[in-house]
Amino acid sequence: MADEKKRLLTGLQSSGQLHIGNYLGALKRFVGAYADYESMLMVADLHALTSVKNPAQLREGIIDVVADYIAVGVDPTKATIFKQSDVLEHPELAWIFECLVTVPFLQQAHAFKDKVAKGLEANAGLFNYPMLMAADILLYDTDVVPVGEDQRQHIEYAREAAAKFNLAYGDTFKEPKEMILEGVGTVPGVDGKKMSKSYGNTIPLFGTDEAIRVAVMSIKTDSTAVGAPLNPTTDITFQLHQHFTPNLAEIQKRYMDGTIGYKESKELLAHNIIATIAPMRERRAALSREAVIQILKDGAEVARARAQAKMKDVREKIGVGLY
């Protein structure tokens, strides 16, 4: 008998328009892996509450995330797509983990410190974020989680939560592994920092052609004169060419020869991004809001059944499962 597939879980916050960093760092890697795994895709709407306070924006963000996943090629009949808030066991398990870990442990979170440094409100949800993420992962006996290199700590937190619970109450949770996609790393934004909505340095994934061009043309460059050689190892535009440009070796040679300037390089990049996204945009336009909602409802049934079964065991072990 063939071995059972391992389970993969990933998720995206419904906190605004997705960008090409989301595509390269999460969407693309999920499409490339989910056929080989029993896969679950979560719309992290509860996580989004740490920063989104506008109900209409959050609702549209939920629809957009699902539509974006379908657009990039995810088959909803082969992956479970669900909304985090449809499964109440997520915050329940997060609370249990919060009662096992310490404040100094949570204070070590890179993401919390980084977001506070960028001016985000240091609310309790943002501080406790790692334990809700641990619950997201551990609730489904997840084997692997696709993450960027800079997100490795999230999986370490999940493993630590699993280990603490298992030590206190007996073997219950599987310790997951991270899936790091080689060659992606941290996708740079137009200013050279990590591409992030909170930095305002993104190139929209499904923006108009003009919006994509404007974003690409705003990429930060140095003052090297036209006709002088350019350094592909430090140029932000070239780093993005590596993900969208098929004739990369030719572009690199022109950089070294000084036969391409920043303006032409950006124009080529914008053209190649638009060409990559065009078929995805068509799929997205053909997807109705009603179809997205049905996908979420169907996925919620599958996720809820798994979560409820897991939490029945957890409740009995911690002593609250009396009936």
Tens-digit pLDDT profile for residues 177-224: 988 766 566 789 999 998 988 788 999 999 899 999 999 999 999 999
**Whole-number pLDDT of residue 26:** 78
Residue 138: C-alpha distances to residues 29, 68, 128, 267 (Å): 21, 25, 16, 44
215 Cβ contact list (under 8 Å, min separation 6): 190, 202, 203, 204, 207
Look at 263 and 147; give whichever has higher pLDDT. 263
Tens-digit pLDDT profile for residues 259-308: 999 999 999 999 999 999 999 999 999 999 999 999 999 999 999 999 99
Task: Decide if pLDDT at 146 tops 90.
Answer: no
- What's the average model confidence in pLDDT over 168-174? 97
Active site includes 193? no
Look at 315 and 122; give whichever has higher pLDDT. 315
223 Cβ contact list (under 8 Å, min separation 6): none
Instruction: Using the Cα atoms of residue 239, residue 245, residue 250 and residue 254 in order, give the sign of their dihedral.
Output: negative
Identity of the residue numbered 269: L
- Number of CB atoms found within 10 A of residue 305's CB: 11
Active site includes 310? no
- Active-site choice (28, 83, 164, 194): 194
Beta strand spans in the chain (E): 7-13, 38-44, 79-83, 144-146, 177-179
What is the spatial distance between Cα 64 and Cα 12, in angstroms, rounded to a whole number? 11
What is the spatial distance between Cα 100 and Cα 106, in angstroms, rounded to a whole number? 11
pTM: 0.84
**Whole-number pLDDT of residue 182:** 61
- Active-site choice (28, 115, 164, 310): 115
Tens-digit pLDDT profile for residues 11-66: 888 877 889 998 887 788 788 788 899 999 999 999 999 889 999 999 999 999 99
Active site includes 177? no
Task: Decide if pLDDT at 1 tops 60.
Answer: no
Question: What structural domains and CATH numbers belong to the chain?
Answer: 7-186+289-318 (3.40.50.620), 207-283 (1.10.240.10)
Tens-digit pLDDT profile for residues 94-106: 999 999 999 999 9
